[in-house]
Amino acid sequence: MNLNLKDKVIIVTGGSKGIGWGITTSLANEGAIPFIVGRKEGDVKRAVETIKNNGGKASYAIAELTIPEQCEKAVEKVVKEFGRIDGLVNNAGVNDGVGLENGNYADFMRSIQRNVAHYYMMAHLALPYLKESKGAIVNIGSKTAETGQGGTSGYAAANGGRNALTREWAVELLPYSIRVNAVIVAECYTPLYDRWIKTFDNPTEKLAGITSKIPLEKRMTTAEEIADMVTFLISSKSSHTTGQLIYVDGGYTHLDRAL
């Protein structure tokens, strides 16, 4: 299927590793120009070079997304370089384990900054250009907003905010034909997930226990499966889909895990 994404300029925050890298790759495979915004220059540059070495187009900006001025400079760079923005994928974030019992207010607010405040900032900055292109926004979210996890109040609250903003922006941006959707992730094995699993005394058994509770095929969702849904939602092939929270999770969130 031709998704009509050739030479469309799509910002992907955190687009050099994990799910973000899957999204960047999927977009590039469809002929889009992913513009990665990330804070680790080495990772970002390697990702862009990999896309280019495989015949695609890509570019980047280095930014700490919790600093508004750096978000501004990133958007200025993409506009200066390409003159347009056709889509925004808000993906960057981290399950930082800021809980209620063992956390504190300062860390909680830091978690909100790291996991949802920059979603607003990037969308706000990109909006004038998305109006011109009638582009689309996809927010990446987590099952923690619905299922809870325990010990991660900041991340869960931020993801509840991501879901709410998805619906709110979908309403606010209707007059501009800008679609806004979210892809919700449950269990996807990324470098960050690997780091979390290894905090347990029995990581192999812990991973097997989680995987056994994923209804469809008893396996983790791949980054590619999440990425391909994001690419579809960014594309004009999903032209009448907005305000939706789409769960790419093998049924983990909504099906009976006793299955």
Assess contact for 140 and 182: CB atoms under 8 A: yes
Please report, for residues 6, 11, 55, 68, 241, the alpha-carbon distance to residue 2 in angstroms, rounded to integers and kept in the order given: 9, 20, 18, 36, 18
Is 155 one of the annotated active-site residues of the chain? yes
Block residue for tokens 């590039």? 28
Give backbone dihedrals phi and psi of 151, rounded to 5 degrees, phi first.
75, 20
From CA 217, how far away is CA 70, in angstroms rounded? Answer: 42
Give the active site residue among 119, 155, 193, 247.
155
Single-letter amino acid code for the residue at 243: G
Task: Please choose, from the candidates 154, 158, 113, the residue with its C-alpha nearest in 3D space to the C-alpha of residue 139.
Answer: 158
- DSSP lists the bridge partners of residue 35 as 11, 59
Helix (H) or strand (E) holding 182, with range, is strand 179-185
Block residue for tokens 């606010």? 172
From CA 220, how far away is CA 230, in angstroms rounded? Answer: 18
From CA 210, how far away is CA 205, in angstroms rounded? Answer: 9
- Residues with Cβ within 8 Å of 123's Cβ and at least 6 positions away in sequence, in order, are 88, 90, 137, 165, 169
Q: Please identify every residue annotated as catalytic.
A: 155
